[in-house]
Structure 1
Amino acid sequence: MTKVGLARLLIVGLLVIGLALPAAGSSVSLSLSFGRSPAGPRWHAPFSLERDVTYTYYLSAYRWGWESVSGELSMVRSGSTVRMSYKIGGASGTVTAPYDPQAMVGALLLDALTNTSIDYAGVQLLATPFKFTPWLEQFGEAVLRDGRVWEVSGNPPIRFDAQPKSWRNDYEWTGQIRQGSRTILTLEIDVDEPLPVYLETRDGEYRFTAELRVQRAPVRILR
């Protein structure tokens, strides 16, 4: 890979999560009175990773309906840093970054871009689990409900609409982040987990998905 090609991929990769952030002074409407059901629960502390818990996303990129790239990304927080290990196709790597979503995705993509066997789709795929992070504040303050949850003013505005996955519980939700008529991101939320349990986004002919598995240490009972 040439330096020009590497720079181009780096720019593209770092812009992956720049999903039309609200401009300075933009207003935010939270927990609007849309929808058919009463107010639901809050998502407990989005992106507040538990220490020494392994969060693994299983990643897939589909092109014209066929899986073209697959991989996984694991994250383990230890104090003020997070250790990330990834596999994309036949490539793999490990990187440690400060416990901050922007720092994490920046370090991750920079490391991946030094690997000549990871292409554009692979870079996009690694960034997929971070696609919701520009709106952490909105997610953390809003009350989940069936319908409009939050909206950021703009031209066009960005909004998040949700619905419960089942009427038998109020802790599993699915929703879409939209800008105007365009769906930016589809995600599924378990309010007790700090990360979305599923994310899906599209870019041209590609569809990228990320599915979460959480591994916690077994509870030891002292006798």
Structure 2
Amino acid sequence: MREDAERDAADAALLDALRAGDIAAGEALFRRHAEPLRRIAAGWVAEPAERDDLVAEAFVRVLSVIRSGGGPRENLRPYLAVTMRNLVVKWSHHHKRVELYGTTPATEEAIGTVGAEELLILRSNARLAWTAYCALPGRWRTVLWRTEAEGDSPRVVAPLLGVSPNGASVLALRAREGLRQAFLQAQVPETGTPCCQEARRRMGAWLRGGVPGRRADLIAGHLAGCEPCRTVATRLDEVNREMPRSVSA
């Protein structure tokens, strides 16, 4: 069909851009495919929140593979759908997280399952998940994917990053914390008020104790006298407290 051919051509262009490092291309792919994928997910899980979980995790996995140079060259949706199906089976067998029903929809060539429990993080909102992951430095994305998703040891990852095994372990810890902070920061609304901008810009890190000394004091002082920013911080703190233990600990 002409519509399918046009979609495949658009996917191919965006996938090439994503491999070249264009984060906006990943966002465009999400906008193109998220809603159809939610409809597919409705055949497997009952709750809308669980459908969002599946879509979010599928994008994190598949687009991470693409950014590393692998994955599909066009026609992205079947790869995402099969990845979602693999996740449903895995979560049902090992975590009892979702209610399975229905059958696998017809799809084209499948992508292999890429493992990853720690990158289930940020699953309350699919767009936030992608935004937070893409906000990380490239080395952090690499070490997170290789250690958490692929299950590689720091000793295996270290040569790829040009560091010692101990250095790779430290980098992985920093990357995990950076991901938590980025998830929070992605939920901070922008403001046009100049005196609020510094507090808003660092709020995710501040809530996680990632802002040093005097800057942290300045943010705390600003919040004490600014009701709009204090409201944002209070809501964000609730999100921080509600994150799964594997994310917030």
Which TM bucket (shorter chain)? Answer: under 0.3
TM-score by length of 1: 0.23
| Greater fraction of residues in helix | 2
When you count strand as a share of all residues, which structure comes out higher?
A: 1
Larger radius of gyration: 2
In the superposition, the TM-score normalised over structure 2's length comes to 0.21
Structure with larger RCO (C-alpha < 8 A, sep 6+): 1
